[in-house]
A and B are shown apart, each in its own frame.
Chain A
């Protein structure tokens, strides 16, 4: 790009082209969904097994889950804030907004997890419906921001899961945990792995260009 004499149409073309290229950066690596999805999925399955074998402290796995998630979140925050950790080469307004909404989601979720544990609401199973509603809310916004329709479908699956639990919670019993695990797998894990694959291909392409 060395040319200085531009026609009006050329100027307009450059503006459109560059804004389009900047928008390409609004992509999700999917890694967060994968880590979070597996944590939730495993916690659900472990909880289900503990109920099935009638183990003591059946719901303790959620306390560990909450603690581990909290440690992970604080470590990430400290790393970003104080150690100038390597981040993306560009920060978009969408990234920033989604990061902040992620923090709000996490705080809400932690309060729910510890609140459910403290009040004993865990044992009813209905708390999982509320969790699925919260996941769906977050997925829908995230999917809209990054124009990722598969994740949007995940949001609807989670909301459907919540409705199923609300209607059938008495009949479902411990199977509520399987509904929760299935919603997490379909809503987080599948879109997360697909997003990671796409993101990997994209960054490979960029590396080759350099």
Chain B
């Protein structure tokens, strides 16, 4: 039986998978949006976003909006490919498990 070894370890984490699933569905999202939708703490979310950025799955832009700092996140092409591979491998894993 197949195991989790084919699943991308970066994405095989609850919060990182949630973030990528959100970002794959939208063009770009603010940090506050991701925090609200994932119910994560700001600290944990920042750490996980940084990890996703380091592997090139997302781009993070920091700017000012109405004099407040704003963090915008956007999935990259590498991120989309990684997500698609993850879903494909996950499906295979679930099919084998049936």
List B contacts of A167 (CB < 8 A).
none
**Quick check: is A1 within 8 A (CB to CB) of the other chain?**
yes
Kindly report which residue of chain A lies nearest to residue B7, judged by CB atoms.
A11
Check B21 against A84 for contact (C-beta < 8 Å). Answer: no
Tell yes or no: A23 within 8 A of B by CB.
yes
Scan residues 9-33 of chain B and give those whose CB is less than 8 A from a CB of chain A: 12-15, 17-18, 21-22, 24-30, 32-33
Q: Is chain A's interface secondary structure helix, strand, loop, or mixed overall?
A: helix
Query: Which of A88-96, A116-124, A183-191 contacts its partner?
Result: A88-96
Asked if A22 CB lies within 8 Å of chain B CBs, one says yes
CB of A9 within 8 A of CB of B15, answer no
Most interface-central of A3, A9, A12 (chain B CB within 10 A)? A12
Would B13 and A22 count as touching, CB distance under 8 A? no
Q: Does A11 contact B32, Cβ atoms closer than 8 Å?
A: no
Q: CB within 8 A of B25: which of A2, A9, A14, A19? A: A19
User: CB within 8 Å of B: which residues of A?
Assistant: 1-4, 6, 8-12, 14-15, 17-19, 21-23, 25, 84-86, 89-93, 95-96, 206, 209-210
